[in-house]
Amino acid sequence: MSIQTAVTWLVVIAVFALTVKPLGTYIAKVFTFQPTVLDKPLRPVENAIFHWMGLSRDSTMTAKQYGLALVLTNLAWMLGAYALLRVQGALPFNPAHLKDISPRLAFNTAASFTTNTNWQAYSGELTMSYFSQFAVLSYLQFVTPATGAAAAMAFLRMLSGRKMGNFFVDLTLVVTRLLLPLAIIVALVLVGQGVPQSLGPYLHIHTITGQTQVVPRGPMATWEAIEHLGQNGGGVTNVNSANPLENPTAFSNLVETIAMGLLPVAFFYAFGVMTGKRKLGWTLIGVAAVFYLIMLALLYFPEAAGNPVINALGLHTHANMVGKEVRFGLGGTSIFETSTMSFTTGSVVSAHDSYLPLSSLSFFLGMFLNMVFGGSGTGLLNMLMFVIITIFLMGLMVGRTPEFLGKKIEAKEVSLASIAFLIHPLLILAGTAVAVADPAGVSGILNPGPHGLSEILYAFTSAAANNGSAFAGLKAALPFYEVAIGVVMVLGRYASILVMLLVGESLAKKRTVPETSGTMHTDTVLFGGILFGAVVVLNALTFFPVMALGPIAEQYLMMAHHLF
């Protein structure tokens, strides 16, 4: 490992460690309506918005009302985005004169960006106008991560014995107090690094070889800022953050990597502040951090060792850099890719399809777990889902009714948490099975053997986890995948959120029971270890068989010099 790699990793981890407490405390204050430093400039603006909507800051809803408001609002955004994409050619800010988006692609894109997935079955610079990119899709990149964060805040309020709150109030506060201020700062930094911020037409550059190259432009800096802060991941250009226009320097790569994790990590600490269980918050951060480091090691070290087939030929001179971003080196690329999979962002600086099968397990692990900090708020919800299941399993082992935050965990809560857990693998495995069995799905495979299966599995895993990245060896623009992946993205986004809101409401209605000598403490290293083990076992039982047919089989065959 080079000094550059070690320093890059240490800087990223150090920033997360230094910001988690102040930013998490700030988030807790915002959503418990305590005074903060941004009250003076932003409160009048927010009050005007609330007055226009006929709301008060302290209004509240039931879980069903909150969930219904969340779903209907997101549905309205999706329908509006779909309609605007379908008439793109007639709208302004289209210097490249791009045509209307086809119905299936418009549905897939609208569903993708509304669900915070940002899966792109298109090339941004060749398909989307400035208006579509920055008035339609960029708008969704603000409000859709705010949706997940709002649901998490409602859940935490219920856990801490407070009123659930109002979805529209929470949505507004996430945008005004978190996303907009941070996006302005990050966008200015990226402009300073050379990321374009312009509405001018595409440039036609004459190269030294006598060719003409078209260079796309647009307000890229503002897009990149919210793309990463909101764990969106959709790129302005086809190659995403591997394009020097979107990510020009090693410093911009560092900024984008850090931007992905600032809010997801801070939400874990905000949980500890709002519930009064700071030690438990640190325990959950520790569990997620261990998974993060495992993913980083699993990604970096096999690639650093190189391709065994190339090594056997005596041609091994450096790490396997095929498809990697040489400007940032293997270290900078690995920390970016680990972050994008841990925080469910989906932006990329390298071709995931080019990684060794063993390394690709890191990508799958992040999306299978979906709680290695995850998206802003949604990763925390998934972590707490595993906490409830783990506490139930511990209760079974000791023969005692389990408790969480002083509330009895009974059949209803366990059933709902189990449903929330099972939705994710059901969408992934059922979607993959249908694609493999249907000729329309098989026709999209460009690589034979286990890697072809991995490509399909990756696509549905990315959709269900609302990640949005791809192996890229799959023809995702086929009608089958445009529709199937669009449906999986929608179900993967909302089903588990709605179920967890019901869990929160059920716990909120229970009376608090005092701690006794038999109470299982959840803020200890022991519980963190048990939680880690439960997460590993539950996901291994669910996903190991299909992984054995895909990446694991491919790795063993590659070691036997059998390539696809």
Per-position DSSP letters for 142-183, written without gaps between them: HHHHHHHHHHHHHHHHHHTTS----HHHHHHHIIIIIIHHHH
pLDDT higher than threshold 80 for residue 398: no
Provide the pLDDT confidence category of residue 316 given band limits of 50, 70 and 90.
Answer: low
Handedness of CA 555, 559, 560, 562 (dihedral sign): positive
Instruction: Give mean pLDDT, residues 156-173.
Output: 92
Instruction: Give mean pLDDT, residues 192-217.
Output: 85
pLDDT digits (tens, 9 = 90+) for 405-430: 888 888 899 999 999 999 999 999 99
> φ and ψ at 404, to 5 degrees?
-140, 120
pLDDT higher than threshold 90 for residue 402: no
Nearest-angstrom CA–CA distance, 5 and 552 = 27
Contact present, 234 and 137 (Cβ < 8 Å): yes
pLDDT digits (tens, 9 = 90+) for 100-119: 999 988 998 999 999 998 88
Instruction: Give mean pLDDT, residues 427-441.
Output: 92
Instruction: Give mean pLDDT, residues 454-460.
Output: 92
pLDDT digits (tens, 9 = 90+) for 474-509: 887 888 888 899 899 999 999 999 999 999 998 888
pLDDT digits (tens, 9 = 90+) for 351-369: 888 899 999 999 999 999 9
Burial of 24 (0-12, 13-18, 19+ CB in 10 A): buried
Nearest-angstrom CA–CA distance, 531 and 275 = 19
What angle, 0 to 180 degrees and rounded to 10, lies between the N-to-C axes of helices 378-398 and 278-305?
110
Nearest-angstrom CA–CA distance, 345 and 224 = 12
Mean residue pLDDT of the chain comes to: 90
Which tokens in the block code for residue 79? 């329908």
Distances from the Cα of 532 to the Cαs of 165, 284, 417, 519, 548, in angstroms? 32, 9, 17, 20, 22
The pLDDT of residue 84 is 94
pLDDT higher than threshold 80 for residue 148: yes
Instruction: Give mean pLDDT, residues 182-201.
Output: 92
Non-local (6+) Cβ contacts of 147 within 8 A are: 70, 73, 74, 116, 171
pLDDT higher than threshold 90 for residue 199: no
Nearest-angstrom CA–CA distance, 190 and 195 = 6
Contact present, 98 and 128 (Cβ < 8 Å): yes
Q: What is the amino acid identity at position 173?
A: L
Nearest-angstrom CA–CA distance, 82 and 105 = 9
Distances from the Cα of 378 to the Cαs of 167, 381, 465, 534, in angstroms? 15, 5, 10, 20
Work out the angle at residue 466's Cα, subtended by the Cα atoms of residues 463 and 470, and round it to the nearest 5 degrees.
Answer: 50
pLDDT digits (tens, 9 = 90+) for 499-555: 999 999 988 888 887 776 667 788 889 999 999 999 999 999 999 999 999 899 998
Contact present, 465 and 367 (Cβ < 8 Å): yes
Q: For the chain, what is the largest distance between any 2 Cα atoms, rounded to a whole number of angstroms? A: 80
Question: How is residue 474 annotated by DSSP?
Answer: B
pLDDT higher than threshold 90 for residue 283: yes
The pLDDT of residue 517 is 64
pLDDT digits (tens, 9 = 90+) for 30-85: 999 999 999 999 999 999 999 998 888 889 999 899 999 999 999 999 999 999 99
Closest CA to 263 of 556, 454, 22, 29: 22
The pLDDT of residue 134 is 86
The pLDDT of residue 518 is 65
Provide the pLDDT confidence category of residue 310 given band limits of 50, 70 and 90.
Answer: confident
Contact present, 360 and 454 (Cβ < 8 Å): yes
pLDDT digits (tens, 9 = 90+) for 211-261: 888 888 888 899 999 999 999 988 888 888 888 999 999 999 999 999 999
Which one has a higher pLDDT value, 269 or 124? 269
The pLDDT of residue 269 is 96
From first CA to last CA, the distance across the chain in angstroms is: 30
Contact present, 235 and 124 (Cβ < 8 Å): yes
